[in-house]
Amino acid sequence: MTDTKALEECGKAAVEALEFSRTVVKEGASLLEAAEKIEEFIKGRGFVPSFPVNISINEKAAHYTPSIDDKTVFGRDDLVKVDVGARKDDAISDCAVTIDLSGKNSKIVETADKALEEAIGMVRTGRKVCEIGRAIEKVVSAAGFRPIQNLGGHGIEKEELHSGVFIPNFDNGDDAELKEGDVISIEPFITNGYGYVDETDEAQIYQLAGSVSPRSQEARSILALAAEKYMTYPFAARWINRELNGLSDFRVRRGIAELISLGDLEPFPVLVEREMGVVAQSEKELVVEKDSCTVITKL
């Protein structure tokens, strides 16, 4: 049975972290400092991050989290997606907003928010996921934008942030139905570009995927730390840098590369809009009920 109270506690912490993010995501501010302040905010509330905070700018749609030596700063025209989550024990939250630093992209931000609310209003037991996608696409297309077709919402289960049902941002013909008690995240990604994202060669987020014994000491240390502290949840390379401060950044990178080659780690590449269009995102987590839903991350 879904522990809605535990989820709501995690959801409240994540929403507070999103609200806090608006105080640190500013022109000229460091992405690295912003990410670490947001994560520390979550820890200060008695939770741990569900995943490394994603701070994806402009054409970058998802999976960007700064490295330990990231020098990037926010620009005055940046459209910034902040995706955060808080967890405690088996309860996990996940939510996101888009922050428009230029003040010139209000339409795409408002459209993403409107599409999300339209989708949430359709949620109930037995609802087909393609119907939710169709509702999102209708709102997005009417505003002159495109939904990103290879990104979408997802089910959330014990120890798994992405599992089970996929919630599309367009009518993909999937007749899978929502079940009472399902915990899901709906997250419209929309763009003024092509409507697809591609993987880049850049990744700073990883997740355990196997248990092959590596040869190097640094790889063994990273694997042991990930298994003990992060378990099935995504983690950032910079978290490893902080925890294993006896290892140089070069050795951490080398160890991670070895673990990927062995299949011990799965990387989450940064995703970029195919035509370099700007991307907006809006996300909330909810629990499916018989005739409606309970929103866990109430912004």
Q: CA 110, CA 203: separation in Å to the nearest integer?
A: 29
Three-class SS state of 16: helix
- Tens digit of pLDDT for each residue in 52-70? 999 999 999 999 999 999 9
Q: What is the pLDDT of residue 62?
A: 98
* CB atoms inside a 10 Å sphere around CB 228: 8
pLDDT at 211 (0 to 100): 87
Cβ atoms 185, 161 nearer than 8 A: no
> Cα separations (Å) of 148 from 31, 85, 191, 228, 252?
25, 22, 7, 36, 34
Which strand ranges, in their side-by-side order, compose the sheet holding 197-208? 60-62, 265-273, 197-208, 235-236
pLDDT tens readout for residues 259-285: 999 999 999 999 999 999 999 999 999
Q: DSSP character for 212?
A: P
pLDDT confidence of residue 26: 98
Catalytic residues: 83, 94, 154, 162, 187, 283
Three-state DSSP class for residue 189: strand
- Rounded Cα distance between 31 and 171, Å, is 35
Split the chain (299 residues) into runs of 10 and give each run's mean pLDDT.
Answer: 87 98 98 98 98 98 97 98 96 97 97 98 98 98 98 92 93 97 97 98 97 94 96 96 92 97 98 98 98 94
What is the structure's pLDDT at 1? 54
Domain architecture of the chain: domains with CATH: 4-199+271-295 (3.90.230.10), 204-269 (1.10.10.10)
- pLDDT at site 3: 83
